[in-house]
């Protein structure tokens, strides 16, 4: 690829990131030259655009859910989350072209997650037992954990009172109202669901079911 083609690719990559950043930020902000250099660095490292965009969404949804004040002033605010997500994906997709990451002790990590569930939540014993019994390649286990995480949140949602759900829903709609003019119906629905799940997770102190989440061992 020529330097001209490479520069054009860098620019397209950056534009997609800038567009997403501005939309989730909720107010216009031209990213700085240092932000451009950061995005260029991500591109040259091979960090996929889809991973960056997904992580930006996660950062802003989580920030919105916890009621953070003020506006994010630059892309570097999201850099730690992007780099953590990239590191996690590399661990799952490592090839012989790079040093293999330290081998995951799946049994130890799964038992640690199961212990956390038993000690800190009222999640059903069936779900906890299924989590502890998972086995296979790390990427398969991680996919199964994502399914169990959704099931855990669904169980917790079903157990909440109507009054609690109404309170959570009103807070979410208030947050969304600030962004409705910038989100289409599909984006608003997706953000509403993510805000609900994050609110319930925080309210009930539910862990993130992932091999890469920090949890008591």
Asked if residue 36 has pLDDT above 70, the reply is yes
Nearest to 164 by CA among 133, 135, 140, 199: 199
Q: What is the pLDDT of residue 131?
A: 92
Q: Residue ranges of the domains in the chain?
A: 3-93, 106-204
Mean pLDDT of 181-209: 75
Residue of 207, 205, 217, 201 whose CA lies nearest to 110: 217
The predicted-structure confidence for 116-165, as pLDDT tens digits, reads as follows 888 877 788 899 999 999 988 777 887 888 888 889 989 888 888 999 89
What is the C-alpha separation between 100 and 90, in angstroms, rounded?
9
Query: Which pLDDT score, from 0 to 100, does residue 138 have?
Result: 75
- Mean pLDDT rounded to a whole number for the chain: 77
- 215/111 Cα distance (integer angstroms): 11
pLDDT top residue among 77 and 64: 77
Mean pLDDT is highest, among 35-44, 68-77, 97-106, 195-204, for 35-44
pLDDT of residue 216: 42
For residues 154 and 24, the model is more confident at: 154
Residue 101 has pLDDT above 70, yes or no: no
């Amino acid at each position: 690829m020529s330097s001209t083609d490479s520069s054009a690719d860098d620019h397209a990559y950056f534009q997609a990131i800038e567009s997403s950043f501005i939309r989730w930020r909720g107010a216009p902000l031209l990213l700085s030259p240092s932000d451009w250099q950061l995005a260029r660095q991500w591109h040259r490292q091979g960090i996929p655009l889809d991973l960056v965009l997904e992580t930006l969404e996660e950062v802003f949804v989580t920030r919105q859910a916890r009621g953070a004040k003020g506006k994010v002033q630059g892309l570097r605010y999201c850099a730690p989350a992007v780099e953590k997500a990239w590191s996690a994906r590399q661990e799952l997709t490592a090839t012989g072209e790079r040093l293999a990451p330290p081998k995951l002790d799946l049994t130890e990590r799964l038992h640690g997650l199961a212990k956390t569930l038993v000690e800190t939540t009222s999640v059903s014993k069936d779900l906890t037992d299924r989590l502890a019994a998972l086995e296979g390649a790390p990427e398969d286990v991680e996919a199964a954990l994502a399914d169990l995480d959704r099931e855990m949140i669904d169980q917790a949602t079903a157990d909440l009172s109507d009054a609690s759900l109404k309170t959570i829903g009103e807070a979410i709609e208030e947050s969304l109202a600030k962004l409705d003019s910038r989100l289409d119906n599909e984006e608003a629905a997706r953000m509403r669901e993510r805000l609900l799940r994050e609110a319930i997770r925080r309210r009930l102190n539910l862990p993130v079911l992932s091999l890469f989440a920090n949890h008591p061992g």
